[in-house]
A and B are shown apart, each in its own frame.
Chain A
């Protein structure tokens, strides 16, 4: 099994540590993984803004980069969701179909494909999960509070096995943080208010570290936390699962 590591544009440029943790984690789990050079983006920022047609070149490049891998794994639920859901704008060649089918969010890959939960990590902190919407309601990484399905959560399953980690329950289990790509700029007032409310829920729930499987939401939350000098840290779930403090 050969895995292509998909590191979304903003993680590549702004959060290389998340890419590094993802790679190290997969290597630790014995996965034959490589990072195809020349990656750019999945096209999501364009599609979500209404410029899907202008993103075709980007999407096609993604397929070219990853078509020869058995699995494509990335530490960002919304980007993975975009590949699976919105690459319908491309001509559905065998390559395109295979790439869409075999692209996985990191936690989902570890839990569903590798079938592992205990990754030998230790992280003695109080942690709250931000269940990013595209991972949750798009990829169904867990049960959604709106639906009457039995409870499950891919991220919880993995974090529960981390030594010393105390998982906190939030008042609103899976409300959106208000990032939403360009929404964060064009609807700034609501975006900021939503983010502030999400952070307050974590603070009220005695959380020290907010984590999640989508760093774009975490970037938004971190921006607010830092600006308002709040006593919280933000870490991608790959960083926690890869830690051995």
Chain B
């Protein structure tokens, strides 16, 4: 389904749209407050952007450096060209340990690779341990936001889900009670887990370590209790030196949720004695995106979700309307690189207002990339005959003043003389909910001619 259609559906319940919009705008406001509170926010963004640009221009060397250092620390490093390889690697590590029960903390990469269904098909239980992710997992839905996976669910809906799956009592959607019950339920899972999977927020080339950020403590509960820790990372997660984390950690949580830092920022360098630590480095289309000059900056992304919270379209259409692993503005520039036809409506799901680019902590020019994708899509993806030909006709009309003058006058004549019932009818999308401008007298050029002839 194209974005517009899904968005229209979401808008059938205006009260829910209003709630969704306000909830995310509230996060945007918290972000503004936190960004204002420290000195040098815009410089932090500049540095972060320059660091990421440096990383991409030197990515092969940083990857090798990271691998060397990680190995020295006793960590096993794996390389996966695509999702399939990634899933197989993870599975083979689990098989080696005969691991049947897995706890997983938030990782958009494993979503991207569809790891859960793959492991489940191999008789392995995977429990998502981030509360929001657990909620959508129980509901058998994908996350609708990369930081707030269950933002589309009301507390009453969560209440019902928990009654059904966790045997909780009806609470009318009491968040305090529901969170406590989830804590109990997941604590058991942590204690029984054979292996833990986490994502990676930052991987550090000069130390071979990596950082995982959570508020709930679920990544640490999993990783420190299980015998095996597998960390899955997109290859763009690298940063050059550990001290550069100062820049990125100051930006990440402030941009994501309006917190000064996440509750836990955990630095994994060496496995605990008697345990194993694995890192899976994943390409899955990233080198291809790296080759696209106009779009490679999308690989700066640190997955904070700020562009979603600020996007007036995302807030009013919901994450599922994008039908992509990463929804919202950043997803709309990443997804076309993976499947142009499937995601061809996404770059048009924007007014190009530019709020996403200004809010982005690593200064990705998101709205400019949306514009560029549009130019590619109309060429490479078959367009409706009418739209394509109208645009071509408009192009030639506007290039010739005389034809333009004729068309302009006809339009004005029609606006003046066509009955409102027709103007506001179904065939005119503008007129469903909006009046057309009232046209009287001369156009500006006619007026100007008369004025200067006097």
A–B direct touch in complex (beta carbons closer than 8 A): yes
Chain A residues in the interface with B (C-beta under 8 A): 7, 9, 11-16, 19-20, 23, 35, 37-41, 43, 45-55, 57-58, 60-61, 86, 133-134, 137-138, 144-149, 172, 175-176, 178-181, 183-195, 197, 219-220, 222-224, 226-227
CB neighbours (8 Å) of B317 from chain A are 190
Instruction: Please state if A51 and B378 are interface contacts (CB–CB under 8 Å).
Output: yes
Closest Cβ of chain A to B320, distance in Å, is 14
C-alpha gap A166/B7 in the complex (Å):
37
Is residue B449 contacting chain A, with contact meaning CB distance below 8 A?
A: yes
CB neighbours (8 Å) of A134 from chain B are 352, 354
Closest Cβ of chain B to A145, distance in Å, is 7
Instruction: Please state if A16 and B399 are interface contacts (CB–CB under 8 Å).
Output: no
Is residue B268 contacting chain A, with contact meaning CB distance below 8 A?
A: no
C-alpha gap A191/B431 in the complex (Å):
12
With contacts A9-B404, A38-B401, A148-B42 known, is A178 near B351, CB below 8 A?
yes
Is residue B151 contacting chain A, with contact meaning CB distance below 8 A?
A: no
C-alpha gap A38/B408 in the complex (Å):
12
Query: For residues 9 through 66 of chain B, which have their beta carbon under 8 Å from a beta carbon of chain A?
Result: 11, 14, 17, 21, 25, 32, 35-36, 41-42
* A138, A144, A146 pick with most chain B CB within 10 angstroms: A146
Instruction: Please state if A223 and B42 are interface contacts (CB–CB under 8 Å).
Output: no
Is residue B121 contacting chain A, with contact meaning CB distance below 8 A?
A: no
Instruction: Please state if A57 and B396 are interface contacts (CB–CB under 8 Å).
Output: yes
C-alpha gap A208/B289 in the complex (Å):
49
Chain B residues in the interface with A (C-beta under 8 A): 3-4, 7-8, 11, 14, 17, 21, 25, 32, 35-36, 41-42, 310, 312-313, 316-317, 348-355, 357-359, 371, 374-378, 387, 391-392, 394-401, 404, 408, 411-412, 415, 429-430, 432-437, 439, 441-445, 447-449
Instruction: Please state if B408 and A57 are interface contacts (CB–CB under 8 Å).
Output: no
Q: What are 5 A-B residue pairs whose CB atoms fall within 8 Å in the complex? A: A41-B398, A48-B352, A50-B374, A189-B11, A223-B434
Instruction: Please state if B398 and A58 are interface contacts (CB–CB under 8 Å).
Output: yes
With contacts A48-B352, A137-B354, A179-B351 known, is A193 near B17, CB below 8 A?
yes
CB neighbours (8 Å) of A14 from chain B are 412, 415, 437, 439
Instruction: Please state if A46 and B394 are interface contacts (CB–CB under 8 Å).
Output: yes
Instruction: Please state if A54 and B444 are interface contacts (CB–CB under 8 Å).
Output: no
Instruction: Please state if B353 and A137 are interface contacts (CB–CB under 8 Å).
Output: yes
User: Which residue of the partner chain, among B316, B355, B401, B437, contacts A133 with CB atoms under 8 Å?
Assistant: B355
Q: Which 3 A-B pairs have the closest CB atoms?
A: A180-B351, A57-B399, A223-B434
User: Which residue of the partner chain, among B41, B352, B391, contacts A46 with CB atoms under 8 Å?
Assistant: B391
CB neighbours (8 Å) of A172 from chain B are 25
Closest Cβ of chain B to A143, distance in Å, is 10
CB neighbours (8 Å) of B35 from chain A are 148
CB neighbours (8 Å) of B7 from chain A are 187, 189-190
* B354, B400, B432, B444 pick with most chain A CB within 10 angstroms: B444
Nearest neighbor of A221 in chain B, beta-carbon distance: B434
Nearest neighbor of B310 in chain A, beta-carbon distance: A146
Tell me the interface secondary structure of chain A in the complex.
Answer: helix
C-alpha gap A14/B109 in the complex (Å):
50
User: Which residue of the partner chain, among A38, A133, A179, A219, contacts B354 with CB atoms under 8 Å?
Assistant: A133
CB neighbours (8 Å) of B4 from chain A are 186-190
User: Which residue of the partner chain, among B358, B377, B408, B437, contacts A222 with CB atoms under 8 Å?
Assistant: B437
Instruction: Please state if A188 and B354 are interface contacts (CB–CB under 8 Å).
Output: no
User: Which residue of the partner chain, among A12, A15, A55, A181, contacts B395 with CB atoms under 8 Å?
Assistant: A55
Nearest neighbor of A7 in chain B, beta-carbon distance: B444
CB neighbours (8 Å) of A195 from chain B are 434
Instruction: Please state if B437 and A58 are interface contacts (CB–CB under 8 Å).
Output: no
Instruction: Please state if A149 and B443 are interface contacts (CB–CB under 8 Å).
Output: no
With contacts A39-B401, A176-B312, A189-B4 known, is A133 near B430, CB below 8 A?
no
Instruction: Please state if A148 and B36 are interface contacts (CB–CB under 8 Å).
Output: yes
Instruction: Please state if A13 and B433 are interface contacts (CB–CB under 8 Å).
Output: no
For the A-B complex with A13-B408, A137-B357 known, give 19 more contacts whose Cβ atoms are closer than 8 Å.
Answer: A7-B444, A13-B444, A16-B444, A37-B448, A38-B401, A47-B371, A55-B398, A57-B395, A57-B398, A60-B399, A146-B358, A147-B42, A175-B312, A184-B430, A186-B348, A187-B4, A190-B313, A193-B17, A223-B436
Closest Cβ of chain A to B49, distance in Å, is 14
CB neighbours (8 Å) of B400 from chain A are 40, 57, 61
User: Which residue of the partner chain, among A15, A86, A145, A183, contacts B351 with CB atoms under 8 Å?
Assistant: A183
C-alpha gap A84/B395 in the complex (Å):
19
C-alpha gap A7/B377 in the complex (Å):
31
C-alpha gap A183/B36 in the complex (Å):
33
